[in-house]
Amino acid sequence: MFEMRNLAILLIIITTFGCQKSAKTPVEDLPVLASFSAMGCGPYGVEYFEQIEKFIKKEKSAKGSLFAVHVGDIVGGKQRSISKAYYEKISELFKKYPVPFFFVPGDNEWNDLKNPEKGWKKWNKYYLNFFKSFKPSWTVKTQAIREENWSFKIGKVLFLGFNLVGGRIHDPKEWHGRHIDNVKWLNENLPSSQDDTKAAVMFFQTALRGEHSIFTKGLRKFARKYKKPILLVHADKHKWIHDRPLPEKNIIRIQMDKLGPYPPIQVSVLDTDNPSLAFKVDRRLKWLK
């Protein structure tokens, strides 16, 4: 009888302390692996430049972010040509950023223009390898067959940028080949990231639809092999979304608001295997006050 009573007491103690330990997993207690800022779909015109200048000043004082990424669309979707002066002004604007700044292409400055080839040449002239002028302290790799695709690791986090746009398919052959190249870029980065990273973050312009099926299939296969938390960061539809868009439970997606009316977001990658807790997002709406 005495032994049974002692056993019952022991079970209560184990259960109580076990519950306390499992319950104590607030996001605030998780170590930050890396933080970054991201934005897209903007500025849609010089009238937003002053507002973005204010955001850049706030970024300087806020600190925390190690780098920033623009995920494409520097003009509105109805614009069919972009002047050289506008490309230059955008370049000058984001060279003021206090941390290394990266671009990925958007359809509004490329395939949706009246002359996509001309737009692509300008994009390459002003934004390809834009980060180099900041001289980041970490190594950035670019894809041999598609230099606009980049990757790097900061600590235990893998970051990947892709030329993955929405909009008009002006050249079906190019469209198909680019998606194949993007899947290759996924796979090129998978082996080295398996054992020495705890999360991956991917940046591109578009919300994934049927015309992106080649990449989506490659991404899902990557996620099943990688198994660790993955965050997709894109723009495209000017509406905030934070969800799980695919069956693989380790994939989280953020679709950002339009830059200008809204500020760059900040994401902190946290040290956890739980995808729901791995990415702490601050929309910085207080910056609008």
For range 118-140, the mean pLDDT: 97
DSSP 208: P
- What pLDDT, on the 0 to 100 scale, is given for residue 29? 86
The residue among 81, 65, 98, 71 whose CA lies nearest residue 205 is 71
The rounded distance, in Å, linking the Cα atoms of 16 and 13 is 5
- What pLDDT, on the 0 to 100 scale, is given for residue 222? 97
For range 163-181, the mean pLDDT: 97
Residue 13 has pLDDT above 60, yes or no: no
Fold of the CATH domain 32-288:
Purple Acid Phosphatase; chain A, domain 2 (3.60.21)
- What pLDDT, on the 0 to 100 scale, is given for residue 8? 47
Per residue in 33-90, pLDDT (tens digit) is 999 999 999 999 999 999 999 999 999 999 899 999 999 999 998 889 999 999 999 9
Residue 1 has pLDDT above 60, yes or no: no
The answer to whether residues 260 and 44 touch, using CB atoms and an 8 Å cutoff, is yes
Residue 30 has pLDDT above 90, yes or no: yes
Residue 18 has pLDDT above 70, yes or no: no
Residue 15, CA atoms < 13 Å, CB-side half-sphere: 6
Residue 16 has pLDDT above 60, yes or no: no
pTM higher than 0.85: yes
- Tell me the chain's radius of gyration from C-alpha atoms: 22
Distances (CA, A) of 216 to 206, 212, 213, 223: 12, 6, 5, 10
- What pLDDT, on the 0 to 100 scale, is given for residue 78? 87
